Amino acid sequence: MNMKVAKIVTWIGLIAMSFGLANGFINGDFMEDGKALLENPWGIMSMIDLYTGFTLFSLWFFHREKNVATAIIWTILMMVLGFFTACVYILLALYKSKDNWTAFFHGNK
């Protein structure tokens, strides 16, 4: 895959996440909807799956970033805003890497 395709796919993900988050904040009730989710066994499984993915993805922050505090901030954002954060981080990494996949994956190290 070339970087242009990766950027397009990531931009689509960021736009979709932005609309989804906006819809949730505007039309949803975080506490009520969260309670309903956690009362459902598949809702619990979805949360386990989601936060396992967040945690695994966050390992990449610690791999790429020289500063541990920066990696911690990205991880906190990931746990709060989910893959919206991942889309932003990936776009920044794609543009900073200047079409170099090694720089994209390894960042400042």
Strand, helix or coil at 68? helix
| Cα 56 versus chain centre, distance | 11
pTM of the model: 0.90
Q: Specify the pLDDT at position 10.
A: 97
- Residue identified by tokens 């949730």 is 24
Is 96:29 a contact under the CB 8 Å cutoff?
Answer: no
Q: Specify the pLDDT at position 29.
A: 93
- Residue identified by tokens 């791999």 is 63
Q: Specify the pLDDT at position 85.
A: 97
Q: Specify the pLDDT at position 109.
A: 72
Q: Specify the pLDDT at position 79.
A: 96
Domain ranges of the chain: 3-106
The C-alpha angle with vertex 40 and arms to 36 and 43, in degrees rounded to 5, equals 90
Q: What's the Rg (C-alpha) of the chain?
A: 16
Mean pLDDT per 10-residue segment, the chain (109 residues): 94 97 94 92 96 97 95 97 97 95 89
